[in-house]
Amino acid sequence: MAYCIGDSCISCGSCAGQCPVGAISAGDGKFEIDADKCIDCGSCAGQCPVSAISEG
């Protein structure tokens, strides 16, 4: 199951730099994770300063 970015995302982009497969990109008001690319490694969740990322 892919990780998801919640509404508390502050669009800082720190998660995108941690993703080893490039599954995270800027969306409308927050960053988004492409579920088809996500490999469930959790690197992004550990990097998020506001804990906006969780397993989906």
pLDDT, tens only, 17-41: 999 999 999 999 999 999 999 999 9
Q: Please give the model's pTM, rounded to 2 decimal places.
A: 0.89
Per cent of the chain over pLDDT 90 is 96
| Distance from C-alpha of 41 to C-alpha of 32, rounded to nearest angstrom | 16
Sign of CA dihedral 39, 41, 43, 49: positive
Share of the chain above pLDDT 70, in %: 100
Find residue 31's DSSP bridge partners: 26
CATH label of the domain that carries residue 46: 3.30.70.20
Please tell me the total count of domains within the chain: 1
Contact between 37 and 21 under an 8 Å Cβ cutoff? The reply is: yes
Total residue length of the chain: 56
Q: Write out the residue range of the structural domain in which residue 37 sits.
A: 3-55
